[in-house]
A = this chain, B = another copy of it.
Amino acid sequence: MEIDYSDISVIGFDADDTLWVNETYFREAEEQFAELFRSYETPNKIDQELFKKELQNLPIYGYGVKGFMLSMIEMGLELTNYKVEPKLIEAIINIGKEMLNKPVELLPGIELVLKELSQKYRLILATKGDLLDQERKLEKSGLSGYFHHIEVLSEKQPENYARLLDHLDITPRSFLMVGNSLKSDILPLIELGAQAIHIPFHTTWEHEKVRDQDLKDHNYKTVSSADEILEFLM
């Protein structure tokens, strides 16, 4: 059955891994981190432990690079049984600073898609992460002119989206969200009675993964790249 988009007047876009590359940089950083501590543990074990540490710290640090840096430092202390070589701590800080200074790499075709859609729809950006980091990336991206509103959320639960839509006077049935994360960009919107289009990115953070059983009976479309959405929205 075809999904009907005729009620849609506002389209929300996720940012990281929807507009531009992000998760790839975290994967690279994790590899660098594992390399730094290779004499203490296998890369696989280090990866698992770092992920656990990040989840443990998520409620206190939230999403973003700074919390990731602090989790890596803590992990470095623990992996070495508090005998870490200070240069390794410095190396972790440099990995993080490099992430924060990375140029923004737009995903293919994204600017054209926003340009086209902005002629027919009101576009908003709804992302989570560090406020400053997200603002900086948006500025570097050159895409901010396409968005009527930019919101950095501390979480992407249904209630966060509900507050945002309410604040902007948008009804769920007129709203469509586009993003790469089923957990953060798709399921919460479906739950609210809005629509959603999933554009998978080639890598997904473990924490954003969703079990198949959580997906069944949910009505959303999956496309393989952003330009495909023009076909049924324009």
Name A's B-contacting residues (CB within 8 A). 60-62, 66-67, 69-70, 73-74, 77, 80, 82-84, 86-87, 89-90, 93, 96-97, 100-101, 130-133, 135, 149, 152, 154, 167
- When all copies of this chain in the complex are counted, the total is 2
How many Å lie between the Cα of A102 and that of B70 in the bound state? 19
Interface-centre pick from A66, A67, A73 (highest chain B CB count, 10 A): A66
Taking a contact as CB atoms under 8 Å apart, the answer to whether A84 and B86 are in contact is yes
Taking a contact as CB atoms under 8 Å apart, the answer to whether B90 and A77 are in contact is yes
Chain B residues within an 8 Å CB radius of A131? 62, 130-131, 152, 154
Residue on B with the closest CB to A131? Answer: B131
Taking a contact as CB atoms under 8 Å apart, the answer to whether A132 and B70 are in contact is no
23 A-B pairs with CB atoms under 8 Å apart are: A60-B97, A60-B100, A60-B101, A61-B100, A62-B132, A66-B66, A66-B70, A70-B70, A70-B93, A70-B96, A73-B93, A74-B93, A77-B89, A80-B86, A82-B87, A84-B86, A84-B89, A89-B89, A130-B131, A131-B131, A131-B152, A132-B154, A135-B154
Chain B residues within an 8 Å CB radius of A61? 66, 100, 132
Chain B residues within an 8 Å CB radius of A60? 97, 100-101
**Nearest-CB distance from A200 to chain B (Å)?**
27
**Nearest-CB distance from A150 to chain B (Å)?**
10
